[in-house]
A and B are shown apart, each in its own frame.
Chain A
Amino acid sequence: MSFFGFDAMLARDRGHSASAPGFGQTPDAFAGLGGGVAGDDDAIDFEDTYDGLGDGLDETDDAFNDDTFGGGPASQQSVGKDFDFAGQTSKIAHTLQEEQMLYQTQQPPSHQQRPPPPKPSKPARTGYESYHDPNYIPQLEARADIWGLKPKHPVPAKQPENQAPPPPQPAKKMMSLEEVEAMIRAQTLQHEEPAPVLIQPQQAQPPPLPVHPHQQVPHSQPHFPGIPGQGQFVPQILQRPQQPQQPQQPQHAQQHGPHQRSGSRHQQVHAELPGHSVQAPPVHHPTILQRQRPPPNEPSIQQHRHAPPQPTAQRPASQPRQILQNPSRLSGQGQPMAQPGPPASRGPAPGHSRGPSYPSMVVTNPEQLLHLSKEEREAFLAEDAKRAKRNHKIALLSKDNGLMTPQDKNFITRIQLQQLMTATGNLNEQTPEAAIAEDFYYQVFSQIRGALRQTPHQPASQFAQTYLFQTNGRYGPGRRHGRGADNHMQRMEQQVQRAVEAAKAKPKAKQLTIEGSLGKISFSNSKTPRPLLSMKRPESTDKQPSKPHKVSVADRTETLRNIENVYMTLMHMEDHERTLPAPINQDSDPEAIQRHMEWRTKIETLHKKLWDDIKIMEPINPNPLTPHPFIAILSHAKGKKAIPRIFRHIDEQERITILTMVVIHLDKLNVVSHGIATPEEPLSPALRDEIELFLHSVVPPLYAHIFESPLNIIIGLLGLILERNNVHVVARTKIGMSLLIMLISRAELLKQPPEINVVDWENWTELYNRLFDAVEPILPLIFPGSINDTDDMYVWQFLAAMGVGASPEQQQRLVIGVKDRVMETVGVSKALPPEMAGARLANVNLFMRAIGLDVELLG
């Protein structure tokens, strides 16, 4: 069906028109007139209809542009208001739908008629099939294909093509006004002729949009108060109203005449309106997923654009369009039009077929473009292309927009914030407790070692107490080395010295004979043959206690677990101590008192738990196969280290209990039972470490306690040692000896004050004698190493302590027992450098002075 006898030379146009507006082609405003209908190629064969008028367009003659575009004479009236299709339609969309429904019910036949005339074979292409279904609800979004968009364009391929053709095409494409009119006239004629075929024009309609150049502005739909009849009508037959609008009113009348005259036809149009009304929809967008947004926008964009294409070179139009198409592709619309005709190769005809492509022009004001120079136009087009690309990218990127709901986003944000908080939040949280809980090591470490605290009463001091002084020695080489140990040894030494001084202060009547007669004093030895007799006993019993020490794995695990429990309780107590509420007084409010009470209750609970944890109250089995749980705890390094901390939290009575426990099991302690060293068989390094650790961690608190104990407790403890332990073992180990030193020297000091309890003192003397008798046989063995072993200070201290309390007769026996060692040490020290010699001689002298002598005398 050829309306104008269009040039049919281009076979490709077929394909192109099938999919509506050509991609990248120069827009031809009047192409739609020729029947280049989107998605409707079946209904109208473009080639058949194209009359080639487009070729005759004189592009250079712009004389009538004003008329055409409404600039001048073409007044509002002449232009008419019938172009605001979408706006008008949207206003009455529901009316249209109602009308359609009404019509459908009333005139089913005519409705059905419609498809057959154009091309029954491919009704699917019309795009109106949906409306056959009475229940059909139009899509609530703009259909890109209505605007002749083609979704799939091989973008790159087109551009080159577009650029090549420009020069020739412009001439062909621009139809003169006369031509347009002619076309219109022809069209209307044809419309009228085949009454039943009315649909043709309608189908041709989609492209028409571009035809309205002046309408870019108007396209803001709402502006035009539609004349009901026309308004409804217009959307469908976009082209028609416009064509007439031009100078020739008569034709206008002509055109309309036919349309309105045929009632049935009119109704048909109505029937289709709903479909158009659907276009109006920008309104609906909001409800649509974001991703689909691009498409809805298209129509309006296109509308704005289609004007320019006419005036400008056609090539430009193609570029912008690519943008538009991408979005449309996303929306899934316009698929049917996917086939872009090969625009470049097109001869004259193409221009017409491309009509629908106008929409792609980006220029908002057509006149602008008109007045642009070629260069400017190029620039503009290049920019357009850029924008197209960008839009395309945006479309791609926005593909997944809206996948996450706001709730999802909030959720993610919350998680991220939480992570930030945990990563950096500690610094902000100013509650020290929270910081300590999260960052214990760093907080405490920096408090202990960091800059001096500003106030001496900060909680840091507690940490310092807990960690700084508890286990030094070799465990904290970085700290004041072995401070606690030195402290302890010094205090022990001081105590011994004080005892010695005190002893010297009281004149001892029978001591005079000894002076200067070290070598000859042996006469008193005749009275006491005992040493020789008892020599063997220690040998036989020496290694006895080592047997029960074998500990099963289960016991060991149990012990370790006990220790860990102790530590956890300790830490809970320490944490709790930091939360000590402000001290209360009479004026405190009840709440504070309440808090204090709670605190006290809690700390007492923890205290009790700690006491249970150390297993100290487990019954003592006189002949145990396994060591007492508390002693087992002490056999582990970390168990030993816990003792000073435990002592800080327990009361006096409990300290005595622990002390007693240790004393009772003295020879069961591995540091004692395995701690006997001989010159031939020195201790293993591991054991030496154990002993050192014990000395540094366990002994000091015990010592501190002994140092304050009254004589009766000392007596009790010494008694326990003598009764429950193998004194020979105890006396030959560093730990045992240290304990003995503490007890004896403490007793010596207690002897000084006037308030000596006579009974106690007698008890003590008796115990001392027992001890002396027990120790005397092993006096030659108490030195752990050879004469060159310098670690014998504690032995000299022990001898000094013994010597202070000894009777003259006992002192002589002491001297006899260690005489060789004394002489050797003095001899060795002569060969040593002065410093070392001085140290060793000082040790010896400690003992010598205790018995009223001096190494000088030996000189």
Chain B
Amino acid sequence: MLIFSFFKTLMNQEVTVELKNEVSIRGTIKSVDQFLNIKLDNASVVDELKWPHMSSTRDMFIRGSVVRYVHIPSATVDIGLLEDATRREADKAKAGTA
């Protein structure tokens, strides 16, 4: 599962998680599981004025299904490697169906 594999490399990286309810949370990824549930440390809401009630929460566990985007630092992505990983994934899927 490429996307899970990918998120595992983001461990301890600072990311911004954008939820489907428009809330954006910045924090350090502490763990990700195969459902892409995300555990954030040092989390803070990007727009504190709009979501003041979130400001007291430091550590969060975000259910994977409510995440819309995860903004990641580009430096943490190895594009060439990701391309190859994608190719492998596609190849595997093709082999699986064929």
A442 touches B9 (CB 8 A): yes
Minimum Cβ distance to chain B for residue A449 (Å): 8
B79 touches A475 (CB 8 A): yes
For A478, list chain B residues within 8 Å (CB).
73-77
Minimum Cβ distance to chain B for residue A706 (Å): 25
For B67, list chain A residues within 8 Å (CB).
none
A477 touches B8 (CB 8 A): no
For A849, list chain B residues within 8 Å (CB).
none
Interface residue range, chain B:
20 to 34
With an 8 A cutoff between CB atoms, is A3 at the interface?
no
For B22, list chain A residues within 8 Å (CB).
none
Which of A446, A449, A475, A571 lies in contact with B87, CB distance below 8 A?
A: A571
Interface residues of B in 65-93 (CB under 8 A from A): 73-85, 87-89, 91-92
B75 touches A440 (CB 8 A): no
Interface residues of A in 538-568 (CB under 8 A from B): 564, 567-568
**A-B pairs with lowest CB-CB distance, top 3:** A478-B75, A441-B85, A442-B5
B87 touches A567 (CB 8 A): yes
Give me 9 A-to-B residue pairs in the complex whose CB atoms sit less than 8 angstroms apart, sorted by A's number. A440-B5, A441-B9, A448-B78, A470-B80, A471-B79, A476-B78, A476-B79, A478-B74, A571-B91
Interface centre among B1, B73, B74 (most CB of A within 10 A): B1
CB nearest neighbor in B for A471: B80
With an 8 A cutoff between CB atoms, is B42 at the interface?
no
Which of B6, B73, B75, B76 lies in contact with A442, CB distance below 8 A?
A: B6
Provide the bound-state CA to CA distance between A476 and B76, in Å.
Answer: 9
Interface residues of A in 441-459 (CB under 8 A from B): 441-446, 448-449
With an 8 A cutoff between CB atoms, is A439 at the interface?
yes
For A471, list chain B residues within 8 Å (CB).
79-80
Starting from the known contacts A440-B5, A448-B78, A467-B84, 11 additional A-B residue pairs (CB-CB under 8 Å) come to: A439-B5, A440-B88, A441-B82, A441-B85, A442-B6, A445-B81, A471-B80, A476-B78, A478-B73, A567-B87, A568-B87
A445 touches B9 (CB 8 A): yes
Provide the bound-state CA to CA distance between A571 and B90, in Å.
Answer: 13
B80 touches A423 (CB 8 A): no
A440 touches B85 (CB 8 A): yes
CB nearest neighbor in A for B2: A441
Total A-B residue contacts, Cβ distance less than 8 Å: 67
Provide the bound-state CA to CA distance between A678 and B6, in Å.
Answer: 43
With an 8 A cutoff between CB atoms, is B34 at the interface?
yes
With an 8 A cutoff between CB atoms, is A641 at the interface?
yes
Minimum Cβ distance to chain A for residue B32 (Å): 11
Minimum Cβ distance to chain B for residue A578 (Å): 14
Minimum Cβ distance to chain A for residue B31 (Å): 13
With an 8 A cutoff between CB atoms, is A615 at the interface?
no
B84 touches A567 (CB 8 A): yes
A571 touches B9 (CB 8 A): no
Which of B33, B76, B81 lies in contact with A444, CB distance below 8 A?
A: B81
Interface size on A, residues (CB 8 A): 26
Contact flags (1/0) for A459-480 with B, using CB distance below 8 Å? 0000000010011000111100
B80 touches A564 (CB 8 A): no
For B91, list chain A residues within 8 Å (CB).
568, 571
For B89, list chain A residues within 8 Å (CB).
440
For A477, list chain B residues within 8 Å (CB).
74-75
Minimum Cβ distance to chain A for residue B6 (Å): 5
Interface centre among B9, B76, B82, B84 (most CB of A within 10 A): B84
Contact flag A467-B9 (CB < 8 Å), given A423-B34, A441-B85: no
For B73, list chain A residues within 8 Å (CB).
478
Minimum Cβ distance to chain B for residue A763 (Å): 41
Provide the bound-state CA to CA distance between A637 and B75, in Å.
Answer: 20
For A567, list chain B residues within 8 Å (CB).
83-84, 87
CB nearest neighbor in A for B79: A475
Minimum Cβ distance to chain B for residue A697 (Å): 10
With an 8 A cutoff between CB atoms, is A638 at the interface?
yes
Contact flags (1/0) for B51-73 with A, using CB distance below 8 Å? 00000000000000000000001
Which of A438, A442, A443, A475 lies in contact with B80, CB distance below 8 A?
A: A475
Contact flags (1/0) for A419-430 with B, using CB distance below 8 Å? 000010000000
Provide the bound-state CA to CA distance between A641 and B87, in Å.
Answer: 15
Contact flag A641-B81 (CB < 8 Å), given A440-B5, A564-B87: no
Provide the bound-state CA to CA distance between A384 and B27, in Å.
Answer: 57
For B6, list chain A residues within 8 Å (CB).
441-442
Contact flags (1/0) for B1-39 with A, using CB distance below 8 Å? 110011011000000000000000000000001100000
Provide the bound-state CA to CA distance between A638 and B77, in Å.
Answer: 17
B74 touches A441 (CB 8 A): no
B8 touches A442 (CB 8 A): yes
Minimum Cβ distance to chain A for residue B44 (Å): 24
Interface centre among B77, B80, B88, B91 (most CB of A within 10 A): B80
Provide the bound-state CA to CA distance between A641 and B74, in Å.
Answer: 19
Interface centre among A441, A445, A449, A471 (most CB of B within 10 A): A441
For B74, list chain A residues within 8 Å (CB).
477-478
CB nearest neighbor in B for A446: B9
A448 touches B75 (CB 8 A): no
Contact flag A571-B84 (CB < 8 Å), given A441-B5, A478-B74, A478-B75: yes
A440 touches B84 (CB 8 A): yes
CB nearest neighbor in B for A697: B80
Minimum Cβ distance to chain B for residue A484 (Å): 12
For A571, list chain B residues within 8 Å (CB).
84, 87-88, 91
A445 touches B78 (CB 8 A): yes
For B83, list chain A residues within 8 Å (CB).
567, 638
B5 touches A641 (CB 8 A): no
Contact flag A467-B5 (CB < 8 Å), given A423-B34, A571-B87: no
For B81, list chain A residues within 8 Å (CB).
441, 444-445, 448, 467
Provide the bound-state CA to CA distance between A568 and B91, in Å.
Answer: 8
For B5, list chain A residues within 8 Å (CB).
438-443
Minimum Cβ distance to chain B for residue A176 (Å): 73
Contact flags (1/0) for A634-652 with B, using CB distance below 8 Å? 0000100100000000000
CB nearest neighbor in B for A463: B81
Interface residues of A in 561-589 (CB under 8 A from B): 564, 567-568, 571
B78 touches A467 (CB 8 A): yes
CB nearest neighbor in A for B77: A478
A467 touches B80 (CB 8 A): yes
Provide the bound-state CA to CA distance between A832 and B85, in Å.
Answer: 47
Provide the bound-state CA to CA distance between A438 and B91, in Å.
Answer: 12
